[in-house]
Amino acid sequence: MFSRILIANRGEIACRIIRTAHRMGLRSIAVYSEADASSRHVRLADEAVLIGPAPARESYLVAERILEAAARTGAQAVHPGYGFLSENAQFADACAAAGLSFVGPSASAMRALGSKSAAKALMERAGVPLVPGYHGEEQDPGFLALEAQRIGYPVLIKASAGGGGKGMRMVERPQDFAAALASCRREAASSFGDERVLIEKYLMRPRHIEIQVFADAHGNCVHLFERDCSVQRRHQKVLEEAPAPGMTAERRAAMGTAACDAARAAGYLGAGTVEFIVQPDGTFHFMEMNTRLQVEHPVTEMITGLDLVEWQLRVAAGEPLPLAQEQIALHGHALEARIYAEDTARGFLPSTGRLIHLAAPAESVNVRIDSGVEEGDEITTHYDPMIAKLIVWDGSPDNARERACARMLQSLAQVRIVGVANNVDFLARLVACPAFAGADLDTGLIERERGFLFPQEAEAPPEVLLVATLAELLREEEGARAAAAAHGDPYSPWHLRDGWRLNAGYRRTLTFRCGEVEKRIAVGYTGGGYELELDGHSVSASGMRTGNSRLDAQLGGARVPATVVAVGDRRHVFLHGRAWQIVAGDPLHHAGEGRADTGGLIAPMPGKILALLAEPGAALEKGAPLLVLEAMKMEHTLTAPAKGKVRQFRFEVGDSVSEGTELVDFDPEAQ
């Protein structure tokens, strides 16, 4: 076993690998870009080497700089994590040429499986069932359009070298094929440096089930059961579980055998994932094989009790697999929720900013947090916007999935994030959704359950406003005590904030706004507390603030634990497992807030203009595409908010823009 390992990655996967390396007594070496100089993976590693500027193409994707860092630090092995260079055969070759152990499959296996088209041809020869489609080398747009017609709509265009939903589009009509193909190619070239695509039949209501496999250099190959990754948005997984609900022992054995056959056909070594699309009748088809560790590997670890990173390191060091197939047992049920900095109400647009407040449930045998950030860190436009992975497990013999779902809801209720938009509330609705709870799963679940998952924004309940008011009053008390302590006369009555007035009681009003609704709370001071009046109802209130913005409130005699984080005039209230954002009241709040919603003519996030899709002066229908903005490795098409025309574009292709920047001068047609 080597003793010094360099991790050619960043974020939560780098932290994850460091944790196992330290447990095994290995020295960990991190690499980092200028944007990551103070990041968590750098702080956790034993050593760290700067490899370039913030853009990944100038740092994490530059193999030469990573190899230089390995040579400088005396590393004996390189773990690529996932993403970046993890499936780059040239990088694997370069590691071998430099005398480094590459923690992953051979370059030849990567080449065989790295192209989805080549992998499908290999699987076809090995007898692994495939989805109907075109996987060849011919890439002429006209030819591909004819292939789509032959396969039959709807079809799925997929980047041949892709993954993570990038370079992927579902096309329902022939007239939409050319635009979707062009978009896929741009995204694929940007993310993977390869614009080639394949086309497959889009199967209706399929499930996405994958098998974790492991192979060593001694001829051993095993599978570690399956994961159900059907719950996706924009073809990206958001909630995964193991084992797959409803999986029979016979089907598990058949899929496990097919997965091992696929690995053997490629001469595979190390950890890999064979992904299948499964039809409602249980028929399964090979989609692709990922030649790396998967983001969702923790659910497999939870149900098997194994450390897959340790297995990777041992196999890379030439050791045989620690266990044979019959020695690997499945126990309980696990779920993983991916917590992203994204605005779910705006089509899951990525969000950027500083993590002003970040809290999570305590880790235990049942709850695990994998994260690459801590409170105070930045979510930037340069990298994936994942904040953390929340993994829960339950080992109950009869109703493990139901109990695991309950644990997930309980754990999500303890996640509190301020500083970026995030999907925590959405994830809680997803787990509570009757379709998910009942295991009625397919890759279209989020779209078909939109009514449940995207409810109309509700008015903040009275309890939220009362808690925010109490937190405000207690914060004032703390400020007064601090000022008194720093004053020459700390016992002066002028420092008190108890509402005392000579010959009269004192009442004041606090104003809060939630959305467009403004509420006024009348505050009366009582001995040891307050009397709060909202909408004609009064309640006694008292409490105390503790660390990390926690509030132990007493409202009308009932204990109400909450968290209230103040950022400028905004109050982020976390109560009963939900997050609310309200504004501390200035009745003139509308002044100076900027122009009203223009229907998507303002940049929703920082990014780069990739394409201008409309001619200035041309008549356009509502919803017509105007331009393509690239942000966080994904393309976002901005559309006309109404019938009208573009007067002018304010930027050209290739220009970078900031969030909130006006992009288009648009003239709506008079109604």
Confidence of residue 562 (pLDDT cuts 50, 70, 90): very high
Q: What is the pLDDT of residues 574-626, one digit of tens each?
A: 999 999 999 997 433 333 333 333 434 788 777 889 899 999 999 999 888 89
Q: How many residues can be counted in the chain?
A: 671
Q: What is the pLDDT of residues 241-282, one digit of tens each?
A: 999 999 999 999 999 999 999 999 999 999 999 999 999 999
CA 58 to chain CA centroid, Å, is 24
For residue 457, give Cα distances in angstroms to 348, 453, 462: 16, 11, 15
> Which of 145-149, 202-206, 331-335 has the lowest average pLDDT?
202-206
Tell me how far apart the alpha carbons of residues 325 and 496 are, in angstroms, rounded to a whole number: 71
Per-residue model confidence (pLDDT) at position 336 = 98
Per-residue model confidence (pLDDT) at position 592 = 33
Instruction: Count H helices and E strands in the chain, helices first.
Output: 17, 38
Query: pTM for the full model?
Result: 0.82
Which amino acid would we find at residue 263?
A: A
Q: Which overall architecture, per CATH, does domain 607-668 show?
A: Beta Barrel (2.40)
Q: What is the pLDDT of residues 413-460, one digit of tens each?
A: 999 999 999 999 999 999 999 999 999 999 999 999 999 999 988 889
Q: Over pLDDT 90: what percentage of the chain? A: 70
Q: Which CATH class is domain 4-103?
A: alpha beta
Q: Please list, in sequence order, all residues whose beta carbon lies within 8 angstroms of the beta carbon of residue 219, skipping any fewer than 6 positions away.
A: none
Per-residue model confidence (pLDDT) at position 661 = 83
Confidence of residue 670 (pLDDT cuts 50, 70, 90): low
List the one residue out of 419, 424, 421, 344 whose CA is nearest residue 377. 419
Tell me how far apart the alpha carbons of residues 321 and 212 are, in angstroms, rounded to a whole number: 14
Q: Please list, in sequence order, all residues whose beta carbon lies within 8 angstroms of the beta carbon of residue 276, skipping any fewer than 6 positions away.
A: 208, 209, 210, 211, 255, 258, 259, 284, 285, 286, 287
Q: What are the residue boundaries of the structural domains of the chain, listed by start?
A: 4-103, 132-201, 338-425, 462-584, 607-668
Which listed CATH number (1.10.630.10, 2.40.160.100, 3.30.420.40, 3.30.1490.20) goes with 132-201?
A: 3.30.1490.20
Per-residue model confidence (pLDDT) at position 591 = 33
Per-residue model confidence (pLDDT) at position 637 = 85
Per-residue model confidence (pLDDT) at position 633 = 63
- pLDDT value at 403 more than 80: yes
Per-residue model confidence (pLDDT) at position 482 = 78
- pLDDT value at 491 more than 60: no
Per-residue model confidence (pLDDT) at position 164 = 67
- pLDDT value at 183 more than 60: yes
- pLDDT value at 216 more than 70: yes
127 — phi, psi (to 5°)? 85, 15
Per-residue model confidence (pLDDT) at position 490 = 59
Per-residue model confidence (pLDDT) at position 502 = 44
Active-site amino acid positions:
292
- pLDDT value at 49 more than 80: yes
Say if CB 106 and CB 34 are below 8 A apart.
no
List the one residue out of 147, 128, 149 whose CA is nearest residue 136. 147
> Which of 144-153, 368-377, 543-552 has the lowest average pLDDT?
543-552
Q: Over pLDDT 70: what percentage of the chain? A: 94
Q: Which CATH class is domain 462-584?
A: alpha beta
> Which of 311-325, 532-546, 644-658 has the lowest average pLDDT?
644-658
Per-residue model confidence (pLDDT) at position 489 = 61
Mean pLDDT of the chain: 90
Per-residue model confidence (pLDDT) at position 495 = 45
List the one residue out of 391, 405, 555, 528 whose CA is nearest residue 468. 555
Q: What is the pLDDT of residues 496-529, one digit of tens each?
A: 555 544 444 568 899 999 888 899 999 998 878 9
- pLDDT value at 639 more than 90: no
